[in-house]
Structure 1
Amino acid sequence: MRSLAVLALSWLIAVPGFATQWYPLHVLVDGREANYQPLTAASRPWRICALLPHGMDRYWWGVAWGLDQEAKRLGTELGIYEAGGYQFDAMQKAQLTRCIQLAADAYVIGAISEQGLCEQLGLLQKKNVPVIDLVNRIDCPGVSARSQVSFADMAKAAMAYIQQRSGGRPVRVGWLPGPKDAGWVIDAEKGLAEALEGSQDVLVPAGYGPVDRSSQAALVRKLLTREPGLDYIIGNAEAAAFAGQLVRSSGGRYKAEVVSLYATERVLEAIAEGTVQASPTDSPVIQARIAVDLAVRLLEGRQVPGQVSPRIEMIDQANLKNFDISRLMPPSGHWMIRQELPE
């Protein structure tokens, strides 16, 4: 079955869709629907520093690829740094310090925690250096604009799918969000709480942890051992993919259906093979492209909105073949991009 799923996903990746012409794009601009049209080119080769939390899966490979492709299209220079995981906030601070030493013109940051970089961002704010908040949410002064999708809305979309699928029957839902202090996890928990208001559905928290496979597998096993009768599980991509496989291999001991909080290549494979039912996607490649464009606009004195958000799409087996994979991951054969900002 897995070979069929991988074949289906390979077919998707082979479909033309990785062209540089990603625009105009229907998005939300400060909460209102609009068509986003990026700049044709930068007026000079601005030097942009991008900081990402890790490069362990194709979600962040896609972000790095989108950053790199848009920087090349606009004619800017780009450094891409990844900290190695959500537990390495000190590394991300050190990487930010490195870019400050290199005198980057602007910063695009997928933050490990919502307030971990506040002191350094305050110094950049005093110098009027543009900072774009990418994907994860930063809660600090000094953010100039945001390219991100609300993970509160992502969690609501996942829960709405479950509530529609359950047909109004009260259900027990296991919850494996990810690292505790990440802004996107905090937002997801707020959104899920709002989605559950007034319902009889019960949320069963399974704890927090880094989004690597081994950490999430341990949390999934503990959750299902403690709560074998769960109806559904919502989890980060690694938790969801592992939970789906564990439920299938349990011989009927576990019956939970699994919905991912966000989509990665592994989640799409699991949807194709039926071990994960569905996932919303926040189009991380597009978020990355928009972030670079926003940085250049600010450097060139143009007005920018406070936040630009690609539209959330729900992916399941019914629409998987029609989904534009270039919004989510790099083409086949492209790995995580790590590169020093040119001096």
Structure 2
Amino acid sequence: MFCTFLLLVMAAAPLRAADWFPYPVLADGQAASYQPLAAASKPWRICALLPHGMDRYWWGVAWGLNEEARRQGVQLGIYEAGGYQYPDMQWAQLTRCIQLGADAYVIAAINTNRLCDDIGLLHKAGVPVIDLVNRIECAGVTARSRVDFATMAKVALAYIVRHSQGRAIRVGWLPGPRDAGWVADGERGLREALQGSAVTLVPGGYGPVDRSSQALLVRDLLTREPDLDYLLGNAEAAAFAAQLVNSNRSRYHAQVLSFYATERVLKAIEDGLILAAPTDSPVIQARVAIDLAVRALESKSLPGLVSPQIEMLDRQSLERFDISRLMPPGGHWMIRQELPE
């Protein structure tokens, strides 16, 4: 199994930057084939703010941002705040980019409204701000490149219901940091999907999406609720829970799912440790965000919201999945770089 996964990773390596488009998306709710600009008209300076660089999800986002910036010929700064517990650091990094006079901003926000005052000022100054992945609820956002995590959670729960053949089940839930927009969206989606179902949701608490924090939450949840049928969580929670459950099958029998995919989650699916996960194609979201920023800077038409199509990945569908949508080629790690002056 591991050899198969390595082949998937290596297959992503030789792709050229231009090979990602045209790409099937929903643009303002309508099915479309996304075609980015061939190149920017000048080397615009774009500041990208990410919540952290601790897992492969955000490595893929950073790589997608950098590749599309390089393809279009724009300059890019990439900053990560160190974790969802550091909203003030993200604000400080935004302040730094404002001081550097960035032409546009791509922001994967730590929470939905911490940066609203500054985004409002940027909007008044005619500076584009692109909402990437996490959801910003601020006036003045120019366009959005993200998937609704409510839909991600609904897709994951629908898979669980099909897998359980509709019987009454108890599902543990470990979403991630309390104030993140994508967590709030995921919980909204679950509330809607649970209506009329035979599923009982068992909350496991909130916490940063680092391994140690999520390990504590997983252990606590399974200690309190050893008879869960399924556990659905963020990627770090799912990865740790899969190891714990599969090493203690005499005590736990929960099937584990992640409600988004990372390289580690895909490896665990390949190995049969995690049942499934939906993917929001974060590399594609990042590439689209750069293109939206350039379109806005050059006063070209652009949609308000672009969303890659969500796909549920399990051992069967993983064989057909283009892994370059999710993560960088082998040998690429988190990209952090100062915006050129």
Alignment of 1:151-300 (within 5 A): 151-300=149-298
Q: Distance in 1 between matches of 2:4 and 2:203?
A: 33
Q: Distance in 2 between matches of 1:19 and 1:11?
A: 18
The aligned amino acid for 1:98 is: R
Alignment of 1:17-28 (within 5 A): 18-20=15-17, 21-28=19-26
1:8 aligns with 2:12: no
Task: Give me the TM-score of the superposition, normalised by structure 2.
Answer: 0.98
Q: Distance in 1 between matches of 2:301 and 2:39?
A: 16
**CA offsets, 1:296-315, max 9 Å, x none?**
00000012111000000111
Q: Equivalent residue for 1:337?
A: 335
Contact 2:231 2:256 in 1 (8 A): yes
Q: Equivalent residue for 1:76?
A: 74
Q: Equivalent residue for 1:326?
A: 324
What is the CA distance between 1:19 and its match in structure 2? 2.4
Runs of 4 or more, structure 1, over 6 Å off, are none
Q: Distance in 2 between matches of 1:116 and 1:217?
A: 28
The aligned amino acid for 2:181 is: G
Q: Distance in 2 between matches of 1:95 and 1:9?
A: 36
**CA offsets, 1:121-150, max 9 Å, x none?**
111111011000000000111110000000
What is the CA distance between 1:236 and its match in structure 2? 0.1
Q: Distance in 2 between matches of 1:284 and 1:336?
A: 14
1:135 aligns with 2:126: no
Q: CA RMSD in A?
A: 0.8
Q: Equivalent residue for 1:120?
A: 118
Q: Distance in 2 between matches of 1:307 and 1:9?
A: 33
The aligned amino acid for 1:19 is: R
Alignment match of 2:27 (pick from 29, 41, 46) = 29
Q: Equivalent residue for 1:111?
A: 109
What is the CA distance between 1:49 and its match in structure 2? 0.2
**CA offsets, 1:32-87, max 9 Å, x none?**
10000000000000000000000001100000000000000000000000000000
Q: Equivalent residue for 1:60?
A: 58
What is the CA distance between 1:252 and its match in structure 2? 1.8
Name structure 2 gaps, 5 residues minimum.
none
Q: Distance in 1 between matches of 2:198 and 2:279?
A: 27
Identity between Structure 1 and Structure 2 (%):
68
**CA offsets, 1:212-269, max 9 Å, x none?**
0000000000000000010001000000011111111114210000110100011011
The aligned amino acid for 2:299 is: G
The aligned amino acid for 1:250 is: N
SS in 2 for 1:61: helix
Greater Cα offset, 196-205 or 279-288: 196-205
1:314 aligns with 2:304: no
Contact 2:157 2:193 in 1 (8 A): yes
Q: Distance in 1 between matches of 2:310 and 2:197?
A: 23
How many residues matched? Answer: 339
What is the CA distance between 1:200 and its match in structure 2? 2.3
The aligned amino acid for 1:113 is: N
Contact 2:166 2:198 in 1 (8 A): no
The aligned amino acid for 2:105 is: Y
What is the CA distance between 1:117 and its match in structure 2? 0.6
Q: Distance in 1 between matches of 2:11 and 2:25?
A: 23
Q: Distance in 1 between matches of 2:69 and 2:194?
A: 41
Name structure 1 gaps, 5 residues minimum.
none
Q: Distance in 2 between matches of 1:252 and 1:69?
A: 47
Q: Distance in 1 between matches of 2:249 and 2:177?
A: 31
Q: Distance in 1 between matches of 2:285 and 2:30?
A: 16
What is the CA distance between 1:108 and its match in structure 2? 0.1
Contact 2:285 2:308 in 1 (8 A): yes
